Amino acid sequence: MDIFTEPVDETVAETSAEQPVDAVVLLPVAELHLHIEGTLEPELIFALAERNGIELPYADLGELRSRYEFTDLQSFLDLYYANMAVLQTEADFADMTRAYLTRAAQGGVRHAEIMIDPQAHLSRGVSLETCINGVGSVLANSLEEFGISTLLIAAFLRDLPEDDALEVLESLLAMEAPLVGIGLDSAEVGNPPAKFERLYARAREAGLRLTAHAGEEGPSSYVTDALDILGVERIDHGIRCMDDPDLVERLVDQRIPLTVCPLSNVRLRAVDTLADHPLPAMLAAGLNVSINSDDPAYFGGYVDENFSQLAAVLKISAFDRARLAANSIHSSFASEERKTELLDELNAV
């Protein structure tokens, strides 16, 4: 199945496919599944804590890193939310964003669609203006400064009531926050997509793009419901779709993007090991998959590290890596002009 609307040059593809697995070429990619709070590296956590006079519950970097062995999604979320305490000012959010873009540029990212969790900051007394303006101040110049075009997505916490999410969305719209769309994240099990039908209807009415986490820990039916009830254009994770052949056929036919995060899936025990990951089967089925880092500071790898480990462990070929990169560009919310630029850059590799 030819998934390239503007194909990668076949000569390049054939040559690349013959390269040894360890010759992993750095490809220009779009990162579509990235939580900015999940890019807080331990060193930056300690630096921001010192700047803001916050006493951390960890004696040193080693003790903090020792807590990065997660048993499930909730065990990660507990640490993820606790570490957000160091984010207090616009400068803190800006420094976090700048650090991510610096590292992402080194890994081949040329376009990033960045999720932020506004409810997680409001609940600890940090205003919308502080978190949105802090991140937004860096994103506004990201292409010039880092060579990365960026878009911002407000992700809502699915374990909180829909009314809370609606109130926050209205506030974001009132302040004209520079958003391209909304997402849905946090604890999936027990919080089905149907819980947020009104939220997504309001976002659609406001002209925002729609995506949602589904089918990571939750069942394949959550993917179906995110499509049918919420009307999303893109599924974040989606690996459980493989449990439902009819759903797989639908996703292939409709070219629905799935933003898969392999190292995240392993760290959160959604799959036992990288060798067990369903990505090869997803590619064989013709699914529109892209590779993303999710929360790279916690899960052991940015996008380039995900690609390297996929090549080493799953023997993903150079051609399929190019295919994954092209999928990421086509599946982005970037302008058609920007997509063309990125596809041209990919074809040139």
The one catalytic residue among 10, 216, 217, 305: 216
Q: Which two tokens stand for residue 2?
A: 């030819």
How does DSSP assign 12-72, residue by residue?
Answer: HHHHHHTS-TT------EEEEEEEGGGG--HHHHHHHHHHHTPPPS-SSHHHHHTT---SS
What Cα–Cα distance (Å) separates residue 17 from each residue in 29, 283, 319, 328, 344? Answer: 18, 15, 5, 19, 19
Q: Beta strands 149-157 and 109-116: pairing type?
A: parallel
Going from the C-alpha of 99 to that of each of 45, 155, 282, 342, the distances in angstroms are: 12, 20, 32, 23
What lies within 8 Å, CB to CB, of 25 at 6+ separation is 16, 19, 318, 321, 349
Task: Write out the H or E segment, with its range, that includes residue 255.
Answer: none
Please confirm, yes or no, whether 216 is among the known catalytic residues: yes
Q: What single string gives the DSSP state of each residue in 265-330?
A: HHHTTSSSSGGG-SHHHHHHHT-EEEE--BSHHHHT--HHHHHHHHHHHS---HHHHHHHHHHHHH
316, 344, 280, 302: which is closest to 19 by C-alpha?
Answer: 316
User: Catalytic residues, which ones?
Assistant: 216
